[in-house]
C-alpha cells in the first residue's frame, strides 16, 4: 500500500511534485499507532504562510519530506483505516493538522473522549496545538458544508479570535482605529467581524487592492475600505493599530511614516503578499513584531482555566459561522492535478477572496 504526497521545494515554492511512499501494513504498525486516510483538507493563503515560515517556525518538521522538499501542513479530516490503539476504532473520523497526502501514521497518546495527540518524536518541538486531533465522528458541526467551513476557517478564525483578544486586553494600545491589510483574506475578515460586533468605539479600516474593494465592502464588517494606493489619504493625526496580514515591507513603511508616533501597535500576522524585505529600516511609531498565536493561547489557558479558551472561542464561532453561507463559495477538487493547480493559484495570488478550496489527493 502506498501513500501519495504533494511536496514543494523549500527554496523555491513554485517547484512542486507528487511522490509515492510505502505505508506499513496494519499488522506492522507499532502499539498505539493509527493509520489515517486523509479524506479532505482546506487550502488557503494561510498555508502559503506556513510554507514561507516553514524553517523559522518549524512547520517542515511536522511531516518529513525528502531532502530539500517540504510537505505543507493543512487543516482537514482523516479516517482511521487501521488502529493499534485499544480506545480508537477503525472508521473513526478525526479533524486536525495533516500533510498534503493520502495517508498519515499517528502515534496516538493522551486519548480522551474529545481528542487525542500525535506523540511522534519529530513533532514535539512545535506548538502543542498542531499535534491535537479532534474526534468528530457523528458531530454535525463537522459534517457536510459545516465541516468544510471548519477546515477552511476554524484555524484562521482562532487566529482572528486571539488577535482580537490581545488587542482588547491591551486596550488597543490607545488606538481608535484598527487597520487590517489584506482585508479580503479570511483571517482579516474574521478579525474585522469580531471587532465590528464586539468592540464598540473602535473603527475598523480594511486595506485592500482595487480588485477586491467590492467584496470587502460586501462583508459589512469594515467601517471604511481603502485601496493600497490611497492609504496616505487617512488622517495621520489619529492613533491607529495596524494588523498586517499582507506582509508587505513597502506598505508597512508607508503606513509607519504616514502615522508616525500615532502608530500605536504594529502586529505582523500573515504573508499574503510575500513581499517582506529581509532587512527593514527602523520605522517611526510602534516597533513591528510578529503575533504568535500559541503564546496567547497558553496565556489565556492559564488565566481562564480548563475549557475557558474553547468555551469563549465556541461562542465567537457560533456568531461567525452563520455569515459564511453568504460570504464564501466552496469549491471541491480531487486528484493530483487539482491539488497542484489550487496550490499554484494560491501561491501566485490567483484565488478570488470569496472562494474556499477543499481538496483531496
Query: Residue 84 falls within a domain, yes or no?
Result: yes
Residues 115 and 53 in one domain: yes
pLDDT of residue 230: 97
Q: What is the pLDDT of residue 129?
A: 86
Domain count, the chain: 2
| Global confidence as pTM | 0.89
Q: Are residues 17 and 125 in the same domain?
A: yes
CATH of the domain at 82: 3.90.180.10
Residues 20, 106, single domain; the answer is yes
Pull the grid cell for residue 339: 491539488
Residues 249 and 345 in one domain: no
Query: What pLDDT is attached to residue 56?
Result: 84
159 and 291: one domain?
Answer: yes
In a domain, 18, yes or no: yes
Same domain, 83 and 183: no
Same domain? 13 vs 100: yes
**Shared-domain flag, residues 231 and 277:** yes
Asked whether 31 and 88 are in contact (CB, 8 A), the reply is no
Residues 291 and 161 in one domain: yes
Three-class secondary structure of residue 131 per DSSP: helix
- Looking at the chain, the number of H-run helices and the number of E-run strands are 9, 17
Indicate the residue among 252, 276, 295 that finishes a domain.
295
146 domain-assigned: no
Domain span at residue 31? 2-138+328-360
Confirm whether 54 is domain-assigned: yes
Q: Which grid cell is 235?
A: 488622517
Tell me if 281 is assigned to some domain.
yes
Question: C-alpha distances in angstroms, 225 versus 67, 139, 180, 325, 329?
Answer: 44, 38, 10, 22, 22
In a domain, 333, yes or no: yes
Residues of the chain where predicted confidence (pLDDT) is lower than 70: 271-279
Check which CATH number belongs to the domain holding 194 and give it.
Answer: 3.40.50.720
Report if residue 322 sits inside a domain: no
- Together in a domain, 247 and 119: no
Tell me what pLDDT residue 178 has.
Answer: 98
Q: What pLDDT does 273 receive?
A: 54
Domain termination site, one of 295, 311, 344: 295
278 lies in the same domain as 168: yes
Give whole-number Cα distances, 239 to 157, 221, 230, 274, 351, in Å. Answer: 26, 20, 18, 27, 33
Please write the tens of the pLDDT for every residue from 128-151.
Answer: 889 999 999 999 999 999 999 999
Say whether both 99 and 219 belong to one domain: no
What is the DSSP-derived secondary structure letter of residue 101? B
Amino acid at each position: 500500500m502506498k501513500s501519495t504526497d504533494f511536496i514543494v521545494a523549500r527554496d523555491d515554492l513554485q517547484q512542486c511534485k507528487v511522490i509515492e511512499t510505502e505505508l506499513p501494513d496494519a499488522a506492522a504498525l507499532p502499539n498505539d499507532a493509527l493509520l489515517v486516510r486523509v479524506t479532505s483538507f482546506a487550502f488557503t493563503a494561510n498555508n502559503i504562510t506556513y510554507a514561507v515560515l516553514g524553517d523559522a517556525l518549524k512547520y517542515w518538521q511536522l511531516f518529513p519530506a525528502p531532502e530539500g522538499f517540504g510537505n505543507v501542513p493543512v487543516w482537514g479530516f482523516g479516517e482511521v483505516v487501521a488502529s493499534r490503539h485499544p480506545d480508537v476504532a477503525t472508521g473513526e473520523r478525526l479533524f486536525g493538522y495533516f500533510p498534503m497526502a493520502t495517508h498519515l501514521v499517528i502515534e496516538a497518546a493522551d486519548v480522551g473522549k474529545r481528542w487525542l495527540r500525535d506523540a511522534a518524536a519529530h513533532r514535539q518541538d512545535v506548538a502543542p496545538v498542531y499535534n491535537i486531533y479532534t474526534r468528530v465522528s457523528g458531530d454535525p458541526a463537522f459534517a457536510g458544508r459545516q465541516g468544510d467551513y471548519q477546515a477552511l476557517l476554524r484555524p484562521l478564525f482562532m487566529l482572528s479570535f486571539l488577535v482580537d483578544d490581545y488587542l482588547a486586553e491591551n486596550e488597543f494600545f490607545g488606538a481608535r482605529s484598527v487597520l487590517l491589510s489584506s482585508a479580503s483574506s479570511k483571517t482579516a475578515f474574521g478579525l474585522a467581524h469580531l471587532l465590528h460586533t464586539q468592540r464598540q468605539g473602535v473603527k475598523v479600516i480594511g486595506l485592500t487592492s482595487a480588485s477586491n474593494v467590492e467584496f470587502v465592502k460586501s462583508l459589512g464588517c469594515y467601517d471604511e475600505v481603502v485601496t493600497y494606493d490611497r492609504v496616505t489619504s487617512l488622517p495621520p493625526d489619529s492613533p491607529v493599530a495596524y494588523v498586517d496580514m499582507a506582509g508587505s515591507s513597502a506598505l508597512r513603511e508607508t503606513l509607519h511614516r504616514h502615522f508616525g508616533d500615532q502608530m500605536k501597535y504594529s502586529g505582523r500576522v500573515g504573508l499574503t503578499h510575500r513581499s517582506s524585505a529581509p532587512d527593514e529600516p527602523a520605522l517611526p511609531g510602534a516597533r513591528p513584531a510578529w503575533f504568535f498565536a500559541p503564546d496567547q493561547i497558553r496565556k489565556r489557558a492559564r488565566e481562564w482555566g480548563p475549557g475557558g479558551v474553547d468555551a469563549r472561542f465556541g461562542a465567537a464561532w457560533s456568531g461567525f459561522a452563520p455569515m459564511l453561507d453568504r460570504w464564501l463559495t466552496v469549491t471541491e477538487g480531487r486528484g493530483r492535478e487539482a491539488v497542484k493547480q489550487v496550490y499554484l493559484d494560491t501561491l501566485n495570488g490567483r484565488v478570488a477572496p470569496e472562494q474556499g478550496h477543499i481538496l483531496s489527493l
